[in-house]
């Protein structure tokens, strides 16, 4: 019975890791998912500033899908990622609009330019990630780890071996 109890956490961890590899591994690591942190109010009330959105690439997109695409070269903010809804199809690509906007975007991304469709949302997780990456938090982690290492050192690790002292006196 105790063997089973010891195995359950490892089994759960293995299933979670396998699920992450299959469904949530970033594209940069050969996986199917992309991640974006929402910035701004253009998609409220669907998404809020600081929400983390997991994107999945699809072979085709349709009106109503919420997708992410980069601002085209030569435009202000070129390369920045935009999360908006497809509201129509034009001759050059998709007609895009934020849920909290009263007019369509100037950009019309093609299927090839879309990075993926919104699949999973984690409210405020993007804000938490930004806090975890802030210099004060990282300094606190380094300071804490250094303190733990200093408090856990053993005095005998730093003392000179007795043999060496005896040899010096001889």
CA distance 67 to 40: 16
Q: Which position has the higher pLDDT, 137 or 53?
A: 53
Question: For residue 19, is the peptide bond before it cis, meaning its omega torsion is within 30 degrees of 0?
Answer: no
Most confident of 43-47, 89-93, 151-155: 43-47
Does the global pTM surpass 0.75? no
Residue 103 lies in a domain: no
Q: Classify strands 81-89 and 33-37 as parallel, antiparallel or unpaired.
A: unpaired
Residue 100 lies in a domain: no
Residue 27 lies in a domain: yes
What is the number of domains present in the chain?
A: 2
Whether residue 30 is predicted with pLDDT greater than 80 in this model: the reply is: no
> What is the average pLDDT value for the chain, to the nearest integer?
84
pLDDT tens for residues 82-118?
Answer: 999 999 998 889 999 999 999 999 999 999 999 999 9
Residue 41 lies in a domain: no
Residue 73 lies in a domain: no
Burial code (b: 16+ CB inside 10 Å, e: under 16) for 58-71 equals eeebeeeebbbbbb
pLDDT tens for residues 63-86?
Answer: 999 999 999 998 888 889 999 999
**pLDDT at position 159:** 55
Question: Above pLDDT 70, what percent of the chain?
Answer: 85
Residue 142 lies in a domain: yes
Residue 5 lies in a domain: yes
Residue 147 belongs to what domain range?
A: 137-169
Mean pLDDT, residues 37-42:
93
Residue 19 lies in a domain: yes
CA distance 89 to 42: 20
**pLDDT at position 156:** 65
């Amino acid at each position: 019975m105790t063997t089973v109890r010891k195995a359950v956490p490892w089994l759960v961890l293995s299933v979670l890791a396998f699920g992450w590899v299959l469904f949530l591994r970033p594209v940069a690591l050969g996986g199917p998912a992309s991640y974006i942190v929402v910035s701004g109010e253009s998609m409220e009330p669907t998404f809020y500033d600081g929400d983390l959105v997991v994107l999945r690439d699809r072979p085709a997109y349709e009106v109503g899908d919420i997708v992410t695409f980069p601002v085209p070269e030569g435009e202000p903010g070129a390369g920045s990622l935009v999360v908006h809804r497809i509201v129509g199809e034009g001759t050059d690509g998709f007609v895009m609009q934020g849920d909290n906007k009263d007019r369509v975007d100037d950009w019309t991304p093609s299927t090839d330019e879309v990075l993926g469709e919104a699949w999973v949302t984690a409210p405020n997780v993007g804000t938490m990630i930004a806090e975890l990456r802030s210099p004060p938090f990282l300094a606190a982690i380094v300071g804490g780890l250094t303190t733990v290492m200093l408090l856990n050192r053993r005095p005998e690790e730093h003392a000179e071996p007795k043999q060496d002292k005896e040899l010096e006196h001889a």
